[in-house]
Structure 1
Amino acid sequence: MLKKSINIIGAFDRYNYGDLLFPIIIEKYLERYNSPILEEYDLEYYGLVESDLSMVGGKKTKPLKDLYNNPIEKHSLIIVSGGEVLAARISSMDVDLSPNNFTTIIKKIIIKLIGRRNFEKFSMKRFFVNTRFPWVVDKRNFSTNIYVAYNAVGGSILNTLIAKELSQIKNALKTSDYISVRDEKSMQNIEELKPSLAPDSAIIMSEFFQVEVLETKISNTVKEAVSSCSDGYICIQTNLCSIRSKELELVEQVEKIAKDTGLKVVLLPIGIAANHDDVIALKNLIKLFKIDVIYIEDINIYDIMYFIAKSGFFAGTSLHGVITSMSYAIPHIGLNKDIPKLDNYLRTWGVSGQDHCIDFNELYESYNNIKDIPKQKLIENKDEMIALSLKNFDSLFMCLDK
């Protein structure tokens, strides 16, 4: 007889900081707050492909096709772990899994030549899935009685899909046992399904990974870099798509902050997977700075956490860079008004002054507007979100008691 399982699915097969956090957070929650479940259920992790990112702190994954093709014991649970998954297309996942930039470019050219929907037919065959939206689980595709839950997921751009696709997604979501979304826009987009609203589950990282714990997990290079900043530092992050043609704007703004404050500058890569390209974006910025900056490319997810947790300020295009700042009560600003998931999240959960994205050329002014936000206000906001996230987890796992 098979043992019941908790099957956690998501894009854990690429090095993108936020995606790698989700299964770790779920596991840590269970260990601390709901450990009896671990005696009854095995934990399994699925990406689109088999992978092993344990060297950077991630989980080993099985391919998603195995979840559909292999037997699952009845009353097992599938958790869609988090992230902007409800409208995430198989074509985008295919591009993100490119082994190098050349392959990424080739795939994008093919999409332009034959159209995204035609490209997706090949992607579906490549990954052996029958849907264009691989992180939307239709319970009717399983022969056994299982449970399906969505953990504070994002769907802020669902309203941009064509009617047929949106209908397909909603019909699949209707079969689930629990849905929570992480921002008010996502809530509006599927309001007829009555989802719960909860912060992104990564907000509770500071409960499990206090600075002292992180210091046991980070590289010596990162530890030395932080120690060298005796007067403190600010963290700056961006991806290639967002910064293109705006590099000088950002550099000038950051240099003005550094000059005024005496803080050093850390350029922090967070989106390292193909099609995010933080590494390329930040290397381009280094060439433009007239001041010394700290940049370390070979980092794990705990290095990223530590850099932000010890910083005086974070500004970036990464939603999970911002959420990490929130979790450690660090002042933060979301860069680029054209990132809906980041802007919508800040508008839902941010404190006044940090509750929306800005343009790159507004960074200096925005920093001066938020630098005096009382630390206690950031701590209170963090504590409130952590409490809501834990409540969400409690509700999610209650479906196992049905």
Structure 2
Amino acid sequence: MANPRAAHNGPIIFGAFDRHNFGDMLFAHVAARLLEERLPGIEPVFAGCAQRDLRAFGGHDVAALPQLAARWRDEPVTLIHAGGELLTCDAWEAAVMLTRPEDAQSCIARYGSRAEERRVWARAQLGTDAHAPYVIGRETFPCAASICFDAIGGATLDLRDAALRDEVLTKLRTADAIGVRDTQTQATLRGAGIDARLVPDPAALVAELFDERIQAARPVGSRGYLAIQFSADFGDEATLARIAHQLDLLVESTGLGIALFRAGAAPWHDDIAVYERMTARMRHAAVKIFDSLNVWDICALIARSEGFAGSSLHGRIVAMAYGLPRVNLQHGDAHKQRAYASTWEIANAPGVVPIDILHAAMRDAMSIRREALRRHGAMLARAHRAGFEALHL
């Protein structure tokens, strides 16, 4: 990474890869590789809302954007929002997800029901008054050479409070180029008079750009398996019993094992203890909890599987990149998963399904010809490349 304390000479790649989330951490790699292809030897600075070093998990050494802005405010910077559901992440959500997991619950209990205290605490944690801290415009870098957004999401922006929505739209109007990853976000921005190109998620390129690295990652095992993931909010006993039943049906009907993995370790993401409680309810022993949080190990787990099912959007997108069957589970807020699948999925592929039809939906997904899935994945990779090139960096 370029030294963020040095004089500015490289682009800032910005996003929510300052916390452990599978998809966000991949975005930084994709953006850096595409920039390197275009401008060999370029040294980007990776930035988020907070300074974090996630290299131990396959991520980056990430600088805090407020500190960069203090030094480079009047510089002709190039800033690339690298992707993700950035438009609807508010300051409270960002601050909680940047806390240590062991501290998150006490923060939620202390501030969660008191809006003003919540706002003050989030501002102190993030060093900004922004309602949407992962959206940066020329209010932060007024002399920027270019500010652009690559395949960002905001599937529920029209449902968010007016202060956040107005701030996001004001910042977007200062951008030089905007790509969005779903038609819902595109329609919301169009309704506000903002043009945005429709572009698949950056992770559509992981197989093309990083397959050698992924294939060299940690082995999973020799037996065929399905890659399964679900977030901690599926953790009530009744829901876990329903998931266990569906996974037992899949083991019985396919002969495959089950590999459970975490797509995020930040607060409000995934929890091994929840997986352990679910596996205790399964009748079949052909289940393994994969403990690695390295993003390349997670990619390898999915790439070597016979298909993915879970709540993670990027579990789905990496499976799409590798031409594998995929299904998202419906539980709570699945707006972004539904928006993405409805925009980019191949005809007849299951999108977001209720837990109680997981087995049937996964069998339907597995019935689609693999060659058709591979061709579709390659098409999405090409489309993201075209969208990135349209940013005119």
Give TM-score, length-normalised by structure 2.
Answer: 0.93
**2: CA distance, partners of 1:176 / 1:362:** 43
**2: CA distance, partners of 1:46 / 1:213:** 23
Q: Please, which of 13, 21, 25 is the counterpart of residue 20 of structure 1?
A: 25
What's the CA shift string for 1:345-386, capped at 9, x where partnerless?
011111123252001111111122222101121112111111
Query: Counterparts of 1:1-400 in structure 2 under 5 Å?
Result: 2-32=7-37, 34-36=38-40, 38-39=41-42, 42-71=43-72, 74-101=75-102, 103-115=103-115, 117-191=116-190, 192-210=193-211, 212-216=212-216, 218-219=217-218, 223=219, 225-227=220-222, 229=223, 232-244=224-236, 245-292=238-285, 293-336=287-330, 338-396=333-391, 398=392, 400=393
Shift of 1:35: 2.7
- Identify if the C-alpha distance between structure 1 residues 53 and 362 changes in structure 2 by more than 3 Å, giving closer, same or farther: same
Of residues 265-274 and 180-189 in structure 1, the stretch that sits farther from structure 2 once superposed is: 265-274
- The 8 Å contact of residues 17 and 270 in structure 1, kept in 2 or not, is answered as yes
What's the CA shift string for 1:201-244, capped at 9, x where partnerless?
1110001222x43232x23xxx1x322x1xx1111110011353
- The 8 Å contact of residues 238 and 281 in structure 1, kept in 2 or not, is answered as no
Q: Equivalent residue of 2:154, what SS?
A: coil
Unaligned stretches of 5+ residues in structure 2: 1-5
**2: CA distance, partners of 1:172 / 1:35:** 27
Shift of 1:126: 2.4
- The 8 Å contact of residues 88 and 133 in structure 1, kept in 2 or not, is answered as yes
> What amino acid does structure 2 have at the position aligned with 1:267?
L
Q: Equivalent residue of 1:213, what SS?
A: helix
Shift of 1:69: 0.5
Q: Equivalent residue of 1:226, what SS?
A: coil
> What amino acid does structure 2 have at the position aligned with 1:214?
I
**2: CA distance, partners of 1:95 / 1:145:** 30
**2: CA distance, partners of 1:241 / 1:146:** 42
> What amino acid does structure 2 have at the position aligned with 1:350?
E
- Identify if the C-alpha distance between structure 1 residues 131 and 299 changes in structure 2 by more than 3 Å, giving closer, same or farther: closer
Shift of 1:72: 5.4
- The 8 Å contact of residues 242 and 317 in structure 1, kept in 2 or not, is answered as no
- The 8 Å contact of residues 323 and 377 in structure 2, kept in 1 or not, is answered as yes
Q: Equivalent residue of 2:363, what SS?
A: helix
**2: CA distance, partners of 1:296 / 1:355:** 25
**2: CA distance, partners of 1:135 / 1:83:** 10
- Identify if the C-alpha distance between structure 1 residues 378 and 243 changes in structure 2 by more than 3 Å, giving closer, same or farther: farther
> What amino acid does structure 2 have at the position aligned with 1:114?
R
What's the CA shift string for 1:93-118, capped at 9, x where partnerless?
111122133x2112222333312x54
C-alpha RMSD of matched pairs (Å): 1.8
- The 8 Å contact of residues 349 and 355 in structure 1, kept in 2 or not, is answered as no
Shift of 1:143: 4.2
**2: CA distance, partners of 1:168 / 1:56:** 33
- The 8 Å contact of residues 5 and 73 in structure 1, kept in 2 or not, is answered as no
Q: Which residue of 1 aligns with 2:3?
A: none
What's the CA shift string for 1:168-217, capped at 9, x where partnerless?
2111110010111000111111112010000001110001222x43232x
**2: CA distance, partners of 1:376 / 1:140:** 47
**2: CA distance, partners of 1:35 / 1:13:** 25
- The 8 Å contact of residues 347 and 355 in structure 1, kept in 2 or not, is answered as no
> What amino acid does structure 2 have at the position aligned with 1:167?
D
**1: CA distance, partners of 2:284 / 2:119:** 45
Unaligned stretches of 5+ residues in structure 1: none
Q: How many residues align?
A: 383
**2: CA distance, partners of 1:243 / 1:90:** 26
Shift of 1:138: 2.3
**1: CA distance, partners of 2:322 / 2:56:** 24
- The 8 Å contact of residues 234 and 240 in structure 2, kept in 1 or not, is answered as no
- The 8 Å contact of residues 96 and 273 in structure 1, kept in 2 or not, is answered as yes
Give TM-score, length-normalised by structure 1.
Answer: 0.91
Q: What fraction of aligned residue pairs are identical, expressed as a percent?
A: 25
**2: CA distance, partners of 1:249 / 1:306:** 27
